[in-house]
Structure 1
Amino acid sequence: MRGTVRGQDVYESTGTSERKVAEHVAHKRETEIWDCFLHGRKQVSTFADAIEVYLTHDGEKKFLKAAFDYFGRWKLRDIDQTAVDKGARATFKNHKNSSINRLWYDPISAVMHKAAEHGLCEYKRFKKLKIKPVPPKWATPAYFETFWPYCNDNLRIITTFLPYTGCRITEVLSLNWKDIDLEKKTAFIKTTKTGVSRSVHLPDIVMNALLELPHRQGRVFSMYRAKDAVNRAIRRTVERINRDIQHHNHNHPDQPKEELEYLSTHKLGSHTYATWMMRYAGLNPRQMLGTGRWQDIKSVIRYTHTVASEEGQKADLLPGATVKNP
């Protein structure tokens, strides 16, 4: 359909080849333009319009599809907390609250905020689902002492890089040899979740592992194409270790050995790095921010439970008491 309504040029597809349907769509579009002229953009703007504005101003396309499929032609004025909550329940039936917040509430809030900035609707805030805090899981040095002997060289090297740098697996897999300075023992991480590049120190154990790799061009860990491949390799290795442990305990019951828990790359990397930096390196939350791995203090505070605080250690100064026999 093409033409001019109230001085606005219209050149759009009706999305159909049937004449009656096309006429209905054209009439509806003309009505929208008139409503916008008579009542203002806030009365007629849709979620699809808001997404267009959001993407035009460098918004992130990731995770928008579910919201667009549900709210696409909804008027922004009709999207409230009740509608968003109802949409979440209808769209994500078997997801954890944390996943629903990330996949649903966060992108919708971002789109609506940008729409409000550009006069398409009033500012609206949506409450996200409550998340029960879960202490982060991390690997002990003993975990790796059991794990590494079962790894092939590639898996051993990449799972050495993770806990000693704190890098996300996506950052590790995109790392290129030209971004590594072997003399200064640093790696420059260009692509990060926060969009802020940073330089990472490479301890000797990481340097020695990297030098075992036979190539010095292209991606450092080119043997893995995606994080799922690394996680599968970790899971298979842990399963093999546990089979051996079960067999060992069956034949030698007097020498028990605990089975290993499968830990993903995120737990072996970010969680372990944070815990070790606090527990063994003695960093406090503010100092942790100085590593560049985290951008806000809230992300770091969750790891403080793994270390007795300086204040907590003052319990050594409490008065003692003696037990007297009755």
Structure 2
Amino acid sequence: MPTQAIINHAADMDLCPHLKVRRFPVERKEKEPVTWEWVQKFMAHSNPHLGALCCFMFLTGARISEALSVHWEDVDFSEGKVLIRQTKVGSERKAHLPAVLVAALANIESNREPISKVFKYSSLHTARPQWRKVFKRAGIKPLSYHACRHGFATAMLRKGIDPITVAKLGGWKSAQHVFTTYGHAMNDETLTDRIVD
């Protein structure tokens, strides 16, 4: 795939002719998203900073790098919004802060200087040891930081929010990417009852 992407990019820049490269079959392993219940257990068994970080990523769809880059000046409690600098796509977006997230952020001990970071961790590596310790204390499945962002998209889709809106709210460029990557089939045959409800 990386080689194919390089060839296509070079062809788009007229550095070589377009080549047809046969794709090899790739087995995609379905990743497990976090759920709101998982987040609540995580928060109950972690320190306020780490619990708020987990909640923040799940309820805003922020990547770990984006969450760790949030400063207090980016948080507007009165409007219930936060400015997220999207590292991967190179733009900014404002995300809504649900009441439970406002409470989690308000419970973080901090000097609240505008230029201070909201979350005390300097990088994803400094948070990782504490992140992993919570799994055992809470009795929950070990999941990655990205599983929070994944959980955001999956939960929104399952609540009936269309992929275009989910992509906009979570900072994805493509609704198709949201749909194919984060859309998971639900294992409940009785869902057909909803058609006539």
Question: One fold, TM greater than 0.5?
Answer: yes
Separation (CA, whole Å) in 1 of partners of 2:96 and 2:175:
21
Larger Rg: 1
Maintained 8 Å contact 1:165/1:200:
yes
Helix, strand or coil for the counterpart of 2:95? strand
Given the superposition, is the C-alpha separation of residues 177 and 124 from structure 1 closer, same or farther in structure 2, using an over 3 Å criterion? Answer: farther
Maintained 8 Å contact 1:169/1:265:
yes
Of the three residues 290, 297, 304, the one matched with 2:183 is: 304
Separation (CA, whole Å) in 1 of partners of 2:81 and 2:195:
40
Given the superposition, is the C-alpha separation of residues 198 and 225 from structure 1 closer, same or farther in structure 2, using an over 3 Å criterion? Answer: same
Separation (CA, whole Å) in 2 of partners of 1:129 and 1:304:
24
Separation (CA, whole Å) in 1 of partners of 2:119 and 2:50:
12
Ranked by relative contact order (alpha carbons within 8 Å, sequence separation 6 or more), the top structure is 2
Per-residue deviation, residues 220-242 of structure 1 (Å, max 9, x unmatched): 3452111122233211221344x
- How many equivalent residue pairs? 191
Of the three residues 247, 250, 265, the one matched with 2:145 is: 265
- TM-score, normalising length from structure 1? 0.51
Equivalent residue number for residue 94 of structure 2 = 199
Structure 2 unmatched runs, 5+: none
Maintained 8 Å contact 2:84/2:93:
yes
Separation (CA, whole Å) in 2 of partners of 1:126 and 1:192:
31
Matched AA of 2:127: V
Equivalent residue number for residue 136 of structure 2 = 239
Q: CA offset at residue 305 of structure 1?
A: 2.4
- TM-score, normalising length from structure 2? 0.80
Separation (CA, whole Å) in 2 of partners of 1:315 and 1:240:
38
Helix, strand or coil for the counterpart of 1:198? strand
Equivalent residue number for residue 28 of structure 2 = 133
Of the three residues 121, 141, 162, the one matched with 2:16 is: 121
Separation (CA, whole Å) in 2 of partners of 1:159 and 1:194:
22
Equivalent residue number for residue 154 of structure 2 = 275
Structure 1 unmatched runs, 5+: 1-100, 242-258, 318-326
Helix, strand or coil for the counterpart of 1:136? coil
Runs of 4+ deviating beyond 4 Å:
125-129, 306-309, 314-317
Given the superposition, is the C-alpha separation of residues 192 and 226 from structure 1 closer, same or farther in structure 2, using an over 3 Å criterion? Answer: same
